[in-house]
Amino acid sequence: MSAKELIVSGQLSLGIELGSTRIKAILIGTDPNQVLASGSFEWENQLVEGLWSYPLDQVWKGLEKTFADLQQDCERQHGVRISRLNSLGVSAMMHGYLAFDSSDELLVPFRTWRNTNTQRGADQLSELFGVNIPLRWSIAHLQQVILERAQHVASIDFITTLAGYVHYKLSGEKVLGVGDASGMFPIDPATKTYDQKLVSKFQELNLGSDLKKELLDILPRVLVTGQSAGQLTEEGAKLLDPTGELQAGAAMCPPEGDAGTGMVATNAVAPRTGNISAGTSIFAMVVMERPLTEIHHELDIVTTPSGDPVAMVHCNNGASELAAWVSVFNEFAKLSGSNVSTDEVYELLFKEALNGELDAGGLLAYNYLAGEPITGLSSGRPMTIRTPDSDFSLANLMRSQIFGVFATLSMGMEVLKKENVEISVMSAHGGIFRTAGVAQKLLAAAIDAPVSVSSSASEGGAWGMALLAAFAATTNSDLGSYLNNEVFSSVKTETSTATKEEIAGYQNFLARYTTGLAAVKSAAGQVN
C-alpha cells in the first residue's frame, strides 16, 4: 500500500509525547520505520507559587495544535488528511503529581518531576520501604502533602502522571503503563504491579491522616505493554481534533513515561542493554539481570514497558544550559551578518569541541538550572568557572559545556559500575546527538562505555510511543522480539568508543567538577 492508501484506510499508529519543551506526534503505518507525518507544539514550564508546573489548559491547547500540525504535514506530504487511526498511545514526562477530587477537578497545580520540595516525604518513605524513593516520584509528593497537612489531601480521589491524565481524558480509563507507574510507586517484579507489602506499610504509616481513601483506590491501574487500555472515545477524539475529522474507536495502548519510550526508540529493553536520553533532563536506563546489592540515592529502580527491572540514573538538568550558550553564539552570528542557521551553529560549535584539550583545558561548566538531587543541591545556578591559567578557548569552552551535560549522569553511572552491572552498549537519543560523532564520542569518555546512535534516534520518544501503539495492535507477545525482528533489523547504527587518553582526560575534568560543586552550592544560597 502507498502512504496515501494507508492513511485513507486508517492503518495507522499514532504516538504522542508531551516532553518538557515540546509536544510531538509521530504517525506510522504498517512499516514502523517509515514516519508518514509529524506534528509538534513548543511549550515551557512555569513557576507557580515556587513550584514548576504546566497549566492543564496548555496541555489541551498544545495537543490540539500538535494534531493540527500533524494533519497539515500529512496533507502536505500525501494530499489526504487523517480520519481514522488503528491504534494510539500517549507518553509524557514521568513522575510528578496530579491530584483530582471526585468531580475530576484538579486540586493543586500540576507539580512536575523538576520540583525538589519533597525531601521529608521521600526520606521518610525511603527509610520505611528500604528502597530509594526519589524526590520526583508521585508517592513522595503525596507523602509530602500528607506531612504538611495540606488542605487538599482530604479531597483526593485520584492521582496520576501527565500521561495517565491525558490517557484518561481520551479514553475514560484510569490506567498506566507499568514503566510510568514505576515512577509513582515501587513495582513488584513478580506481579508487575504496585508492591503490596509496601502499599500496606504506606497505609499503616498514614493511619489517622487526612487521606480518606485507600492508596490502591487513588492510584491508576497498572498495565504492561500489549494489554488493552481502552479506546479513543468521541469526547477524546474532539479533544485532539475539535474539527471532528478524527473518528473515535482507535485502540489505545497503556500510557507510558518518556523513559519507557526512550528505551523502545533505542531498542534497549533486554538485560545488559541501556539507553541515555538527553533533553531538558538527562537520564540513563540499564535493564538489570539481578537486583542491586544495596540502596543508592543516585539510582531509581523502575521498569521497562514490559515490567522488567531497570536501574535509572535521572538528572534534573540536561542540555538547556548548553542550548543557552549556543543561542548566544547564534545571536553573535546574526549580528556579524552571517546567515547560518541554528543547526549550523550547533554543528560548528560541536565540531570545534573536538579540538579542545581532553580535560577541557581547566574549564568547568555546571548546567544546574534547577536543583539536582544526585549532587545534593536543592536549587541550581548555571555556572562556568575557570582558573586564571586555564586555556579559555572556544574549543575548551564548548567541550566543557558538553562535558557539563554528562557530568552528573556519569556520577550515577559510576555507582552502577561499582555494583558490577554489566552494559554491552548504551544507545543514545536526543537533539544533542544530531551532530554526528561529537556528543556521542564525549559521552563514551564520560561513562567509559561504547555509545551507539541509530539512524532513527532523532525521532525520539514520540516514535517510541508509536511503536508501542503498533505493538499493541499486533499478535506479537514479546516486545523485545517485535523490536528486534520488525523494527530494528534494518536500522543503521554508529557506535563510538573512547580511548584511554580521552577517558583519563574526562576523569581529570570530573575530579575538578566534583570539587567545584561547593561553589555552585554557595552561589545557589547567595545569588538570587
Read off the pLDDT of residues 282-329 as tens digits, 9 standing for 90 and up. Answer: 999 999 888 888 888 888 999 999 999 999 999 999 999 999 999 999
Cβ atoms of 16 and 24 within 8 Å: the answer is yes
Q: What is the pLDDT of residues 438-462, one digit of tens each?
A: 999 999 999 998 999 887 666 678 9
Task: Encode burial over 444-463: b for 16+ CB neighbours within 10 A, e otherwise.
Answer: bbbbbbbbbbbebbebbbbb
Its pTM stands at 0.87
**pLDDT score, position 437:** 87
Integer-rounded Cα radius of gyration of the chain:
23
Q: What pLDDT, on a 0 to 100 scale, did the predictor assign at position 291? A: 86
CATH fold of 95-160+185-218 = Nucleotidyltransferase; domain 5 (3.30.420)
Residue 457: its pLDDT value, please?
Answer: 61
**Which is nearest to 29 in space by CA: 80, 101, 66?**
80
135: CB partners within 8 A, 6+ apart:
115, 116, 117, 118, 119, 122, 373
pLDDT tens-digit readout, 103-116: 999 999 999 998 98
Q: Give the count of alpha carbons within 13 A of 232, CB side only.
A: 24
Amino acid letter, residue 391 = D
Query: Quick one: which of 109, 87, 82, 89 has its CA closest to 98?
Result: 109
Residue 329: predicted pLDDT: 97
135 vs 347: CA distance, rounded Å: 36
Rounded to the nearest 10°, the torsion over CA 450, 454, 458, 464 is: -100
Query: What's at 260, amino acid-wise?
Result: G
Residue pair 20/93 in contact (Cβ under 8 Å)? The answer is yes
In 3D, which of 305, 218, 191, 304 has the Cα closest to residue 253?
A: 305
User: What's the confidence (pLDDT) of residue 351?
Assistant: 96
**Residue-wise DSSP of 236-278:** HHHHH-TTS-SPS--EEPPPEEHHHHHHHHTT--STTEEEEEE
Strand partners, 222: 176
In this prediction, the residues of the chain whose per-residue pLDDT falls under 70 are 456-459
What phi and psi, each to the nearest 5 degrees, are found at residue 221?
A: -70, 140
Q: Using CA atoms of 176, 182, 186, 188 in order, give the dihedral in degrees to the nearest 10.
A: 80
Per-domain boundaries in the chain: 95-160+185-218
